Amino acid sequence: MIMLVILLPILTGILIPLIPFKKRKHMEIFLESLVIVNSLFVWYLMFHHTESIFTLANFTGNLSISFKMDGMSMIFGGLVSALWPLATLYAFEYMTKEEHEKVFFLFYTMTYGVALGISMAANLLTMYFFYELLTLVTVPLVMHTLTREAILASRKYLYYSLGGAAFAFIGLIFVIIYGNTTNFVYGGVLDLEKIGGRTNVLLLVYVIAFMGFGVKAAVCPFNSWLPAAGVAPTPVTALLHAVAVVKSGAFAIIRLTYYSFGTEFLKGTWAQNVVMAVVMFTIVYGCSRALKETHFKRRLAYSTVSNLSYILFGVTIMTPAGLVGAFSHLVFHALMKIASFFCAGAVMYQTDRQYVHELDGMGYKMPCVFGIFTLSSLALMGVPGLPGFISKWNLALAAVESGNSLAYWGIACLLLSALLTAIYMLTVVVRAFFPDKEFDRSLLDGIKDPGWKMLVPLFLFSIAIVAFGLHSVNLVKFFDSVAMGMK
Amino acid sequence: MQYMILSVFFPVLAGVYLLIKKERGNRKYLLVSTGAFLVITAILVVLALCLGREGMFTLFSLTERLPILFKIDEISVVFSVLAVLIFLCAGFFSFEYMKQEKWEKKYYGFYLIILGVLLALCFAGNLITFYLFFELLTLSSFPLVLHERSKEAVMSGLKYLFYSLCGAYMALFGLYFVERYGNTLTFSAGGVISDQAVSNHMGVLLLVAFLMIMGFSVKAGMFPMHAWLPSAHPVAPAPASAVLSAVIVKAGVLAIVRVVYFVFGASFLRGSWVQTVWLTLSLFTVFMGSLLAYREPVLKKRLAYSTVSQISYILFGLAVMEREAFTGSMLHVLAHGLIKAALFLCAGAIIFKTGKTRVEELRGIGKEMPVLMICYTFVSLGLIGIPPTGGFISKWYLAKGALTSAIPVFYWLGPVILLVSALLTAGYLLPVTIQGFFPGEDYDYGALQKKEPSFFMIFPVLILTILSVVIGLLPEGVIGYLSQIIEKIV
Amino acid sequence: MDFVQNFPFFSIILSMFSGIISSVLPKRAAKWVNTVMIILVGIFSFILLFYMIGRGNSYTYMMGHFPAPWGNEIRVGVLEAGMALFFCIIMILSLFGGRKKLDEELEESKHSLYYILADLMLSSLLALVYTNDLFTAYVFVEINTIAACGLIMIRRNGRTIEAAVRYMIMSLLGSGMLLMGICMLYDLTGHLLMSNIHEQVSALAVSGEYHVPLLVTIALMSVGLAIKSALFPFHAWLPDAYGYSTVSSAAILSSLVSKGYIFLLIKIIYRVIGIDVFDGSRIIDMLFAFGLMGMIFGSLSAIKENDVRRMIAYSSVAQIGYIYMGIGMGTQAGMEASVFHILTHAATKSLLFIAAIGLTDVSGGSRKFIDLTGAAYRNRWAGVAFAVGSLSMVGVPLFSGFISKLLFAQAAVQNHVKMLPALIVLGISTVLNAIYFMKTVIRIYTPVEGTGSGEGVTFKNMKIYVVTLVCFIILNVFLGVSSQPVVNLIGQGLAMFS
């Protein structure tokens, strides 16, 4: 069953260019229904999963490609499978303006399977495998427009990602050598006897691997690929570079920290302080870059940089509570950021406007889009009653409870970043809804909200944002049980 | 109980309704509905205060430990009554004043939302609810600052937003620690911090308390985070300035009351470095605000600086943490609210009628609009603190409280600065009256026209003036009412 | 004695003999003789491999039943048989893949000569693999050099002659050093047969006599072979030689010739000097350091290169660096990784060379990157093959490169001192590999305006080419997916060495 949900999208993707669809509509229906079916399978799996590990193939020795559905898989897989059908729907409308759609949907759909593969990987090697695969299937998506800029961006993306993986690989090796097993076991698999007096080397390796996986999670100084990759069509930027790809980096770090090295080994060491400091710096750095950026999508991309490090901050606290914070931001940020990206995409699609200073007065012409954008901005800022607040709350409480004095500074970073978030998001909102007194409205003639395929996902996201903001108790309880290692 | 919730949600929903309603150009309908909404809200508040006093009401929970909770105590009553009164007056004033402005519908929409949010702040039963509505207050009030859409307005709107959010986040930082070290987040007189935490984490907690006080006092315009206030308040339309200056800054005061007396507890902070720094800053702000107001030529800006100074009177009183000083602060909340609203409305009426904004242009204004200027004079005297107006009583209690307290240096320095500032207040408010009524010999009486504003404008000003005087004359009721709660918290 | 045990001898003789008769045969016949011969040798080696696996230990085969010191010995283990098989596979695939090009680039009269050289090359390689006699090894090293020079310069243009001369000089320098090493060993021990020398060297090492001469010997032989296999910084001859010769030659040279020398070195380390003595010398650290430097600088040069063939050639420098790094770790695991990487690199590099030629052919023969834009759309098979080769070199799971990387890294962890430099350089070099290979892949997959897809390049007229590419890809994936049996074999083979 696990194999099915991973392979189905990959096969579907491959089928798309092979089937001669008579009309575009047929392809849409075919694709959307398969994606939905796959998501339903995932959700079915989430409620009927077994504890057993499914092994596909053995590499060398004790290394194997195997899958398992545990709590973390449910979080990431559930998130991905909930977002994908909607993003696909959005892409149908968005891609009408772009060329070679089929190639696009080929890779777009394959990515779904690969992302699920990451989420359900049962050991480090399998995750690494899908992690590399994710890079490869998403590069064509970044390259899609084939402009010079896009090609440079995709190269950068590729170099950074493969390079990051190369260093993460070192971590993999050490877990193979010094661990009892490479399977993910909550609490870590390192064999302390084998390590003996070489703790410092292992800590160094942890830092290296953290930074390696951190490349995908856009940890400073390895973040510059993410804003550059914003040249991709918006469904890609929104779903992959705000959710699937970058979150898989964070996901991998969680696996590495909590399920391979184990927090007991890492907590209170210099390694923890190093990674935490890096993450804190990234939080602030990403925000301040977003502030300076005038390109709409790139601004959001920098915001992603900063927000991803929120997740990692939760991870580096290295307590179950921190993990809960990380999980909640992982899920909530996905919702908020995908909504805001989709808004930016809708603006680009309808008007070809890409820069923030071109957005004056658009709020009147596209009330739905900018209304939802405002909502997601507020959520990102962390206004109480919206999900951003909940995740920030969980993160900060975890930091306070950990008693780590560096983590206290982390709270300060979070709040500083929230302030900067307010600035860079709300200036957009202000422009859209409160244009200058002398603003000439006739410039905006003919602009209107996009069609239903774009609006439906947007509305569903905003409903989800509000719903989670008001009632997240059960979800957080679930996170709690996962973070305590019970699921 | 249900009135409590209704009085919060009704204005918010009404405001949202106004915002999303299609613009039809039917001004009368808009005014009637806004007026009706305001009056209904006022009635709901009165009902809530009279009938729904007991118990707490949990709306829903953000997380397991974070309920959104409402309850009413004496402090809520004082602030909510003030808010409703001033919103009513300024609202009716707007009906006339906003004729000249664009985007009226938006204005009334946000106006109503702010009222709802303010009431929610007054009724908030725990820190998280308070924080929630505190943020919402910033977000919903900043469109009013932006209203004019001039470059200056947008810039100061953003300035307002960022200062306020900055303060809010400082407070949020503290909130995390309070959640950790407190027994509960629910406001309870005398503080909620557990004794164990107090003994083990004194340093952190003091720092946190300081941050929260500083954060919330951004909204109250205390030095060094006051710079937004003089630029944001004057650019809004006059009635909006009135509510901003008279009520919304009080949200900061309310926040500090809640944090100091209901979360940390006066006994925890008394005598600590936090109190010393706070006293210093508030006194400095009192003096600095007056001085800046004194030097400011534009009337509305002058009034804004005056707000900076006057709010810090209140903060000083809170910082002293003595019974009498606290009473003084509460009285000054009321007095300043009424007076400053009246002053801004006066300034608005002058602008509306003559278009004059600078003080030196106002020569002979008293001859043109005598009723208005008489009101202005009365409330000015009140703000200076000349008996028997409201300002006198409140300052009297403030000074008395400071003198009876045992805080070294400040017990005499405070009253001295208050006095100096009162002189400055006279210096910046009274010239308008003097020049207005006695324009001097070279004044061209031939050009004089009667420009008395209409009933809609004069009436709210009159009401506010009368109320401010009444408070001064009959303060015992308020003091007696407040004494029970003061008993508990100080 | 089983009949199978004669196979190594047969293989060598067969290949040599076919070279000799090819000289009198016409072009087509020479081609067929060559093909049949390689296939036959491959089958021999295959059978031999299974025989050896069944047998479980190595055997020595005396030519003409004369015992040493008069006779000449062959020694066979699992590793030798496997290597021979692998060489045959790569050789035949390389020849097939480059055949079309060969027909174009070579003068009519040179064709049969080419196959003669190829036959000789194979025979020398087989001899290097199987021989148990140092002097025989030296002889075949020289034959190998001559054949290689011929292969380089058979395509006549100025660059190839220059390249061949360069290769010749460097190579002779290397063989000279090797010869000096062999002489000194003979001096020290009085033997030429590997097993005999080994005994003596162990004795010398224990007694501590002739410590310095022994060290010098080891150094001479290692450096000699290192020069011949283009270890950084002795790689100056390589880019031209690989870059300008005809494609089959480039593929054979990069994946077989240098690998033959490395194999010989490994053999010398195990069989002549003894792994313990070798570990104890400083030479191993030198090889390790050179290997690391090669990994970095080879890749850096490749990044700077604007010519796709030369870029691939520089990448060989880096890959050879990997192999020497593995040897330099001085552990069993490191050696296994090196041997595995010999296979990986051979399979991948020849794939890349042959794919590259397909790409340049459809780009007007130009090898500049700018002209390669969109080449993958003009020749789809070559495009896919190049992408696969690149991914393998970068070390993406599923392909053979990943397994080598995994093995190297695992081996590195066991050596506490060399672990960190090895791992970090491994990481950096992966990044560098990614940079130049992925740059190329993106380049060839960037469509240009106004070019139709695949004009003139259809499956029909490239049947052999495509089949070759597919075989290479399968080989690569096979090594990447089911590597465990191969690794086991290597381990078994190395165990048989001692």
Q: How confident is the model at residue C66 (pLDDT cuts 50, 70, 90)?
A: low
CB contact under 8 A, B60 and A378: no
Digit-coded pLDDT (tens) for B394-428: 888 888 888 888 788 888 888 888 888 989 999 98
Distances (CA, A) of B295 to B306, B352, B359: 11, 24, 11
Rama region for C190: left / alpha / beta (φ>0; ψ in -120 to 50; rest): left
Q: Which residue of A has its CA nearest to B138?
A: A383
**Position B79: which residue type?**
F
How confident is the model over B7-43, as pLDDT tens digits? 888 888 888 888 888 776 677 888 888 888 888 888 8
Range A178-181, long-range pairs (CB < 8 A, 24+ positions): A178/A202, A179/A260, A181/A62, A181/A123
Residue C69: the pLDDT is: 63
Q: Does A415 touch chain C (CB under 8 A)?
A: no
Compute the distance between CA of residue C40 and CA of residue C50 in angstroms, rounded to an integer.
16
Test the B interface: residue of A317, A390, A397, A425 with most B CBs within 10 Å: A397
**B372 pLDDT above the threshold of 70:** yes
Please answer yes or no on whether B62 and A393 come within 8 Å at the CB atom: yes
Query: From CA A293, how far away is CA A297, in angstroms rounded?
Result: 9
Q: How many CB atoms lie within 10 A of CB C158?
A: 8
From A155's Cα to the closest Cα of chain C, the distance in A is 6
Q: Is C163's pLDDT higher than 90?
A: no
Q: How high does pLDDT run on average in chain B?
A: 86
Provide the pLDDT confidence category of residue A61 given band limits of 50, 70 and 90: low
Q: What is the pLDDT of residue A286?
A: 92
**Helices A245-254 and A199-214, interaxial angle, to 10°?**
170
Ranges B386-390, B435-439, C326-330, C386-390, most confident: C386-390
d(CA B284, CA B264): 24
Cα–Cα distance measured from residue C405 to residue C398, given in angstroms and rounded to the nearest whole number: 12
Give the CA angle between residues A337, A341, A347 to the nearest 5°: 150
pLDDT value at residue C451: 52
- Which pLDDT value is given to residue B158? 87
Burial tier of A367 (Cβ tally within 10 Å: 0-12, 13-18, 19+): middle
Range A430-452 average pLDDT: 78
Please tell me the least confidently modeled range out of B184-198, B218-232, B445-459: B445-459
The top-scoring range by mean pLDDT among A142-146, B249-253, C186-190, C207-211 is B249-253
pLDDT at residue A210, as a whole number:
92
Nearest CA-CA partner of B116 in B83, B89, B142, B93: B83
Asked if residue A487 has pLDDT above 70, the reply is no
Residue A326 has pLDDT above 90, yes or no: yes
pLDDT band at C65 (very low <50, low <70, confident <90, very high): low
Indicate the helix (H) or strand (E) that contains B464.
helix B455-473
> How far apart are the C-alpha atoms of B351 and B262, rounded to whole Å?
42
pTM of this prediction?
A: 0.87
pLDDT band at C242; cut points 50, 70, 90: confident
Whole-number pLDDT of residue B447: 67
- ∠ CA(A333), CA(A334), CA(A340), 5° rounding? 85
Please answer yes or no on whether B169 and A415 come within 8 Å at the CB atom. Answer: yes
Measured in angstroms, the CA of A356 and the nearest CA of chain B are apart by 16
B202, B269 Cβ separation under 8 angstroms = no
* Percent composition of chain C: helix, strand, coil (DSSP 3-state, to 5): 80, 5, 15
Question: Across the A/C interface, how many CB contacts are shorter than 8 Å?
Answer: 95
Please tell me which residue of chain A has the smallest CA distance to C419.
A201
Interchain contact C484–A (C-beta under 8 A): yes
**SS3 readout for A154-178:** HHHHHHHHHHHHHHHHHHHHHHHHH
Least confident of A45-54, B214-223, B445-454, C10-19: B445-454
Instruction: At B432, list the tokens.
Output: 């308008």
| Mean pLDDT, residues A424-448 taken together | 80
B179 vs A473: CB contact, 8 Å cut-off?
no
Taking the C-alpha atoms of residue C128 and residue C48, their distance in angstroms, rounded to an integer, is 17
Q: Coil, helix or strand for A358?
A: helix
Which tokens go with C216?
């010098």
A477-481 — which CB contacts under 8 Å span 24+ positions? A477/B64, A478/A71, A479/A75, A479/A323, A479/A324, A479/A327, A479/A328, A480/A320, A480/A324, A481/A71
Is it the case that residue A313 has pLDDT exceeding 90? yes
How far from C422 is each of C133, C296, C322, C415, C429, CA to CA, in Å?
34, 11, 10, 10, 10
| Prior bond of C397 cis (ω within 30°) | no
C406/A61 touch (CB, cutoff 8 Å), yes or no = no
Query: A211: pLDDT confidence band, cut at 50, 70 and 90?
Result: very high
Query: Looking at chain B, which subunits does it touch, using at least 3 CB pairs closer than 8 Å as the criterion?
Result: A
How does pLDDT run across A259-286, given as a tens digit for each residue? Answer: 988 888 888 889 999 999 999 999 999 9
When mean pLDDT is compared across B8-17, B51-60, C405-414, the lowest value belongs to B51-60
Q: What torsion, rounded to 10 degrees, do the Cα atoms B54, B60, B66, B67 define? A: 0
From the list C427, C434, C487, which residue is nearest A159 (CB)? C434
Distance CA C243, CA C246 (A): 8
Question: How many CB pairs below 8 A link A and B?
Answer: 87
Question: Is residue C3 classed exposed, middle or buried when 0-12, 13-18 and 19+ CB atoms within 10 A define those classes?
Answer: exposed
In this prediction, residue A417 carries a pLDDT of 92
pLDDT value, residue C389? 92
Query: What's the pLDDT at B186?
Result: 86
Whether residue C322 has pLDDT greater than 70? yes
First to last CA, chain C: 22
pLDDT of C453 above 70 = no
pLDDT for A330? 92
Alpha carbons C394 and A132: distance in angstroms, whole number: 11
Whole-number pLDDT of residue A372: 92
A418:B64 CB<8 A: no
Tell me which of A158, A198, A202 to substitute to probe the interface with C (most C C-beta atoms closer than 10 Å): A158
Q: Which residues contact A187 (CB under 8 A, 6 or more apart)?
A: A258, A259, A262, A263, A264, A485
Q: Collapse the DSSP code of B27 into the 3-class scheme (helix H, G, I; strand E, B; otherwise coil) and give the result.
A: helix
pLDDT of residue C458: 60
Tens of pLDDT, residue by residue over B271-315, are 889 999 999 999 999 999 999 998 888 888 899 999 999 999 999
Mean pLDDT confidence for B142-158: 85
Nearest chain A residue to C481 by CA distance is A59
Burial C8-17 (b: 16+ CB within 10 A, else e): bbebbebbbe
User: Does residue C22 have a pLDDT over 90?
Assistant: no
